[in-house]
Structure 1
Amino acid sequence: MTASRAAVSTANKVLGSAKLPDFARILPPDAVFASAQKSGFLKCNRVEATTVLSKIWKTTQLNLQMTYAMQQQQAASVANICAAHNFPPSNFTSLALLLQQSSPAAIKSPLPNDLLSLAELLNDPPAILKSAKSKISSSRSIPLLESTQIWKKLLYLANTSNIPEAHELIAETYQNAKSIQKAQEHWTKAADAGSGKACLVMGRQAMIIGKNDVAIQAFERAKELGEAEAYYELGILQMKDGEDKNDKTEKTEAEYNLSVAAASGISRAAVMLAELYKSRNDLIMSAQWENLAKEMKAIERDGP
């Protein structure tokens, strides 16, 4: 990279500036740090953050357009500084999020992006996921994507730490690219790692091919993992089975699951409940669910 290109690449970076940044002005106030520390979100105070960032600025130029070997050398320097100050890399991600949410000065500052770049450089999982979501969404070529460092980091994160969100992102990327076999492989891994979203996807896939027993098991697991949509899907399946078998217990469970889904904001569940009560000639309850469904659809359309 030429000197002029290097200057352009670092001109809009706080940690690549020619002058020591005024971290005291840019970083959030002490009260924000104290609150973040108390909640466990952040593992440093304002003084520690300022000290580490100042040392990083003096030691290295933050420029991730360098070669891979240069990035590794930079990562080692930053890691040494963090280790010397007992400063976990996750602090960089947490600080970036705090800055984006609480500091007016940071709105115009590139420091949050610098912090996320540092966290990604040091392989902090949330930073890798955040960066991967941003970079992968703009990619149109799977072979080209698979050759990138962020994709390799994402795969490493999925395969070594077994983080559900990493498998989910990989699965969605392959699915969007119509690479079904690879997508299925990672949906399965995500589900095994505790992803409710993956269980929901696999349940819907089972429904499409008529394996309702498999779908029910997947939706039950997704429910346990907090997926509201699973209540809706399960309710629809149970309602159909209950009608086919004239099973009152199945119908009761279906109504319960649809009610939970509606209470979670799923308008389709409210529509189904309105139709259910209408079929029972309970027009008062039917009208109540129908009105609620209309309100929910309006919120979905226009926002809260």
Structure 2
Amino acid sequence: MASGNCTTPTTFILYGLTDNPRLQVPLFVVFLAIYATTLLTNLGLMTLISIDLQLQTPMYFFLQNLSFTDAAYSTVITPKMLETFLGGAKTISYAGCVMQYFSFVLLTISECLLLAVMAYDRCVAICKPLLYSVIMTKALCWNLVRGSYFLAFLNSVLHTSGLLKLSFCSSNVVKHFFCDNSPLFQISSSSIALNELLIFTTGSFFLMSSSITILISYVFIILTVLRIRSTEKKYKAFSTCTSHLMAVSLFHGTVVFMYLRPVSIFSLDRDKIASLFYTVLIPMLNPLIYSWRNKEVKDALHRAVAAKTWFH
């Protein structure tokens, strides 16, 4: 437990991804390229959906919000990591650490809920195609997105409030490249039992509710597709879900591994790699996954390029 005369540190020292000087510049180049690709693809996809009238559907509205979340996600983590690679300050202020943690939790849960919303949208589109426009109204789409962000915001406030109650008397060195809960809990001189319980409870709730929504949606999708006689129509129906299933598998698998376990089995090297995967790589992969085999996105991109060429 923290002693009575313990004072809150004004700064934390981020251990970083590695302390090997030979790897600093190569890693900087690699992650700068990843970050640039993440911003270019996500912001590009958001812009394309905004300007192309044929992409003004609920499916692409939700994808636009997912791209916004991914771009923000990466921006919360990557710039500070890049700064440390070039010998920049490895310190982060206490307020900056708290804000990074708050934003990180907010965006993580937002993405989790948006993936569930996208599964529901695909379920309605495939199972009730004639009623799709009646069910998935603009008002409902906005309410689903607002509800996802609002629940994520409340959850983030709850966890950040728990973090603010912790004391850090023995050390201010965070053995990670960003302010995550496990490395912060490791250096806390306060009891973290309540924080761990809170993370496990709320994490289980959001992951389970999201997973159940996705599972039920795909059960209905599979049952509907099996009743379709045309092989071509079956393939088309399943192809619209492939990208979403890949995104769900990547995100849920990594988050379950990272957070639904006690902090006592935290492993610095192993968890850094897992953290890199969902904070840096997944935000880059999502727009590529959704665009790679998506004919509508490719056609919209061609139209945008053709319109720009004609204008010039």
TM range (shorter): under 0.3
Please identify the structure whose Cα radius of gyration is greater.
1
TM-score by length of 2: 0.23
TM-score by length of 1: 0.23
